[in-house]
């Protein structure tokens, strides 16, 4: 459970850092939020890996959730487009991550 909380923290910080990068276009002090957010996000991701989560699963979830979260929040905060093809692309990313997650378990671990 702890590794999942750390992973969700890493995702939230990565999204915040990316959105802050967009905000830094008008106010440069946001760059500090970008740097700190990304550093702590990577630290949490490293701790998740140390806790035993496979790298393909952790990075896949981190990347997919970060992409989806950033797209949604950028649409809400900055008026970025959020079109059907974007939604479909996010769906494909999520499907790919689910396949990686399912494929990361050995046959003995599968529940029938």
> pLDDT of 8-41, one tens digit each?
999 999 999 999 998 898 899 999 999 999 999 9
Predicted local distance difference test score (pLDDT) of residue 79: 94
63-68 long-range contacts, CB within 8 A, separation 24+: 63/93, 63/97, 64/90, 64/93, 64/94, 64/96, 64/97, 65/11, 66/11, 66/14, 66/15, 66/18, 67/93, 68/93, 68/94
Predicted local distance difference test score (pLDDT) of residue 108: 62
Q: Is the model's pLDDT at 72 over the cut of 90? A: yes
What's the total number of domains in the chain? 1
With CA atoms as reference, report the closest residue to 38 among 23, 57, 16: 16
Q: Is the model's pLDDT at 112 over the cut of 60? A: no
Q: Is the model's pLDDT at 94 over the cut of 90? A: no
Predicted local distance difference test score (pLDDT) of residue 111: 53
Predicted local distance difference test score (pLDDT) of residue 101: 78
Q: Mean pLDDT score of the chain, rounded to an integer?
A: 90
Residue 59 is part of which domain span? 2-109
């Amino acid at each position: 459970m702890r590794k999942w909380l750390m992973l969700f923290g890493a995702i939230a910080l990565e999204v915040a850092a990316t959105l802050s990068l967009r905000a830094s276009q008008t106010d440069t002090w946001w760059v500090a939020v970008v740097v700190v957010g990304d550093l702590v996000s990577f630290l949490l991701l490293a701790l998740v890996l140390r806790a035993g989560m496979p790298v393909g699963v952790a990075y896949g979830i981190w990347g997919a959730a970060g992409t989806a979260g950033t797209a949604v929040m950028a649409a809400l905060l900055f008026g970025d487009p959020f079109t059907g093809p974007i939604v479909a692309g996010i769906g494909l990313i999520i499907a790919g991550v689910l396949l990686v997650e399912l494929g990361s378990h050995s046959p003995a671990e599968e529940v029938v």
